[in-house]
């Protein structure tokens, strides 16, 4: 049902530029904004892990959220509900061949889901 690999870590920020400077100076992350994801600067760690972003703190995104790659978001959200969790963000398109969603687990933690072409290299 699920790959289970963590593929993305999203860090909320009140000030994107301030957070970009903070994390690039603290950890040496290379942080760039790409034209297709304006206002969503993506970071790459020195070890080459590329799968994170800094996002405006809004809506349900109040604390950092890790994303787990799954084969089917629909099946995974069904299983989440069966296990006592709840959907926070329904399945939404990232690209024509990839989607994301988020859920709250049985302990109140939010986890993101990603379905689509793996970004792992």
Q: What does DSSP say about strands 6-13 and 50-56: parallel, antiparallel, or unpaired?
A: parallel
User: Per the domain annotation, does 96 fall within a domain?
Assistant: yes
Residue 121 has pLDDT above 60, yes or no: no
Range of the domain at 56: 6-116
User: Per the domain annotation, does 94 fall within a domain?
Assistant: yes
Residues 90-111: tens digit of each pLDDT: 999 999 999 999 999 987 889 9
From CA 53, how far away is CA 96, in angstroms rounded? Answer: 20
Q: Which residue has the tokens 């809004």?
A: 58
Share of the chain above pLDDT 70, in %: 94
User: Per the domain annotation, does 121 fall within a domain?
Assistant: no
User: Per the domain annotation, does 68 fall within a domain?
Assistant: yes
The contacts of residue 105 (CB under 8 Å, 6+ apart) are: 80, 85, 111
Residues 27-71: tens digit of each pLDDT: 889 999 988 888 999 999 888 888 799 999 988 888 899 999 999
Q: Which residue has the tokens 């072409």?
A: 117
User: Per the domain annotation, does 32 fall within a domain?
Assistant: yes
Give how many domains the chain has, as a whole number.
1
User: Per the domain annotation, does 1 fall within a domain?
Assistant: no
CATH code where residue 61 lies: 3.10.180.10
User: Per the domain annotation, does 31 fall within a domain?
Assistant: yes
């Amino acid at each position: 049902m699920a790959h289970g690999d963590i593929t993305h870590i999203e860090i909320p920020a009140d000030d994107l530029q301030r957070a970009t400077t903070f994390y690039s100076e603290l950890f040496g992350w290379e942080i760039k904004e790409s034209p297709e994801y304006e206002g969503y600067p993506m970071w790459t760690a020195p070890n080459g892990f590329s799968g994170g972003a800094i996002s405006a703190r809004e809506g349900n995104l109040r604390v950092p959220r890790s994303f787990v790659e799954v084969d089917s978001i629909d099946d995974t959200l069904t299983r989440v509900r069966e296990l006592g969790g709840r959907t926070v963000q329904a399945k939404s398109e990232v690209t024509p061949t990839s989607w994301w969603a988020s859920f709250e687990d049985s302990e109140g933690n939010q986890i993101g889901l990603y379905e689509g072409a793996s970004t792992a290299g």
